[in-house]
Amino acid sequence: MPTITIGFLGDVVGRPGRAAAVHAARVLRAPIEQGGYACDAIIANAENAAHGRGLHLDGYRELRGAGLDAITLGDHWSDKPMIFGLLENPNEPISMPVNATPSGSTDVPSAKPFVTIDVTPKDAPTQHVTLCAFTVLCRSFMNRPGEDPFAAIDETMTRIIGAHPNALVFLETHGEATAEKAGLAWHAARTHPGRIIAISGTHTHVQTNDARLLEHAGHAAGFLTDAGMCGSWDGVTGFTVESSIKSLQRTQGARLQIDDDGAPRACGVVFEIDTASRSALSARAVQVPCE
């Protein structure tokens, strides 16, 4: 039974988040007997990697150099226009949300809607599995809501199937509301069984405790409502306590500041996938302290 293990890391927040993600990549990739998770592919959301807003080129190179196979983005995808060239480059495994609403001059019409990873199962080294990943923005309570995420999932799946008929697909739902992320996950599992095999939410920076399998039509998709974040564990969602409180109190001139002094930790989820039955075997929330 050929299997692959997919690791996904939640929102990378600033320098501490990048450090945590770099460390976690080694742990996720390490063999189980060495305390790792034996991941065959690792994906991370890096929309907050540049000082909490957007992703810069150095951050992208740092994360890719650490062994991350693909990078996704959320509602802050356009905060650093310097990465637009990466989004347009088919050879760079980074993608923006498929249903993002362009803001002003930040439209990237030629950006690829999904990334593709060639994965080799550990127990079948002569086989190759095509894994595609894409992100949809949610709408509830979002400052930058996306266009209809349900329709966006179906439209993107049509494009993926046209380009890679046998691909397995990882879906990221980027949003505030847990109910919306769960609803999107069930829609994906029911509408695309045997194709969308893993689903994780992001955006809140808080890891949920509901990792499970969504079963439909003889297939199962692994699901976690929110993967959490990679960042300082001592602040407030990766930012300093002081700046967070001032922001919540709506203090004039308050700006969130990255908590550079806290202990970094990476949060995410690990999925084990049976490639023969095209189903998830397990979904497990993970946390990796940065030693």
pLDDT of residue 175: 98
Query: Can you tell me the distance from the alpha carbon of 168 to that of 156, in angstroms, rounded to the nearest whole number?
Result: 13
Per-residue CA distances from 59 to 93, 133, 206, 282 (Å): 14, 20, 22, 31
Reference 114, options 76, 151, 158, 79; nearest CA is 158
Q: What is the pLDDT of residues 186-225, one digit of tens each?
A: 999 999 999 999 999 999 999 999 999 999 999 999 999 9
Q: What is the pLDDT of residues 76-98, one digit of tens each?
A: 999 999 999 999 999 999 999 99
Helices 57-65, 14-29: crossing angle, 10 deg rounding: 20
Q: Are strands 129-137 and 115-119 parallel, antiparallel or unpaired?
A: antiparallel
Helix or strand holding residue 279 (H, E): strand 279-289
What is the amino acid identity at position 101?
T
Instruction: Answer whether 0.95 is exceeded by the pTM.
Output: yes
What are the mean pLDDT values of the chain's consecutive 10-residue runs (291 residues total)?
A: 93 98 98 97 98 96 98 95 93 96 60 94 88 98 94 98 98 98 98 98 98 98 98 96 95 92 97 97 97 73
Query: Can you tell me the distance from the alpha carbon of 244 to that of 275, in angstroms, rounded to the nearest whole number?
Result: 44
Q: What is the pLDDT of residues 219-242, one digit of tens each?
A: 999 999 999 999 999 999 999 999
- φ/ψ bin of 54: left (φ > 0), alpha (ψ from -120 to 50), beta (otherwise): left
